[in-house]
Amino acid sequence: MTMNEFLKLVFFLGPALVEGMLLGLFFFVGLWWTVRKLDSTKQVALLFLGSLLIRTSIVVLGFYFILGDDWQRLVAGLFGFVIARIIVTRLIPIAHPSNSLLQKTGHES
């Protein structure tokens, strides 16, 4: 590996990885927040769809504007997004099947 290749990895793809992780954290923490609020709202569909549209729009625009048009930056950003998903799913506690939302809808097993 030459010095130019190493510098490209560090200064070009490194920030793309971090930016993808930040977009992933925004998306998945926003999803977690939305699911937590579903129990306390009467407009479940509106909250869920609104949150989905906002989160998805911001992430897509983030990938488009922040990561640019270079496929290598895009791949690094997507890798960061997946890393963020793994981190968030490991840090957020799992809901128990006795969740009150399941009891309300009659879908508990």
Block means of pLDDT (10 residues each) for the chain, length 109 residues? 77 90 96 92 94 97 87 92 95 65 54
72-75 contacts, C-beta under 8 A, 24 or more apart: 72/12, 72/13, 72/16, 73/12, 73/13, 73/16, 74/16
In a domain, 2, yes or no: no
Any domain includes 5: no
Query: What pLDDT sits at residue 19?
Result: 95
9 belongs to a structural domain: no
Q: Which domain holds residue 74?
A: 20-92
Q: Is residue 79 part of a domain?
A: yes
Residue 108 lies in a domain: no
Instruction: Say what the pLDDT of residue 68 is.
Output: 79
> For 40, phi and psi rounded to 5 degrees?
-105, 15
76 CB neighbour count, 10 Å cutoff? 22
Q: Cα(107)–Cα(102) distance, rounded to whole angstroms?
A: 5
Tell me, yes or no, whether 83 lies in a domain: yes
In angstroms, rounded to a whole number, what is the distance separating the alpha carbons of residues 21 and 32? 16
68 in a structural domain: yes
Angle, CA 54 vertex, CA 49 and CA 60 arms, to 5°: 120
Cβ burial, residue 91 (10 Å; 0-12/13-18/19+)? exposed
- Whether 6 is in a domain gets the answer no
Report the number of distinct structural domains present in the chain. 1
The pLDDT of residue 4: 81
Q: In this predicted structure, what is the pLDDT of residue 13?
A: 87
Q: Give the model's pLDDT for residue 100.
A: 54
